[in-house]
Amino acid sequence: MKKIITSLVLLLLLTCGCEEEKMKLSGFIIGEWDSELTAINLGSEDQVLVYFYAIFRTDNTFDLDFLSYPEKVALYSFDNLNYSINGEFSITIDNPMEAGVTVDFEVVWNPGLDKMVWVPVPDPDDNPPVIPFTRR
């Protein structure tokens, strides 16, 4: 699994063109995004497969839906969560499952492909998933 994720991240980095220099992550992220199938609590007995649907707005808020596998029916919906862009390759979001807690991700993105991959920043108290997104 890690080899696939690493390959995907490298592919996105290698295919990043000059457009990335013109566009900033803060502008790129605005809009509607669908994730690939994602495992939450990977490898544990609590593992769940879900899809994510997210809408990012210019006011640094976003809505996030957890969708069931394989039906893609909303399991949980979270509105008006906050996010902040930290440089060109990092984002901090409100943890939808724990009020008052945030989660940090490194973001690999390519405006030419309308794709981004969120890779969690290691945290011993939390185990967020790697999340590949495609613009809707």
Structure tokens given for 3: 């080899």
**What topology does CATH give the domain 2-135?**
Lipocalin (2.40.128)
> Cβ atoms within 10 A of the Cβ of 91, count?
23
Q: Which residues pair with 64 in a beta bridge?
A: 54, 78
Rg (CA), the chain: 14
- Per-residue pLDDT of 68-122, as tens digits, reads 999 999 999 999 999 999 999 999 999 998 999 999 999 999 889 999 999 999 8
Q: What is the pTM of this model?
A: 0.83
Please choose, from the candidates 61, 43, 57, 31, the residue with its C-alpha nearest in 3D space to the C-alpha of residue 133: 31
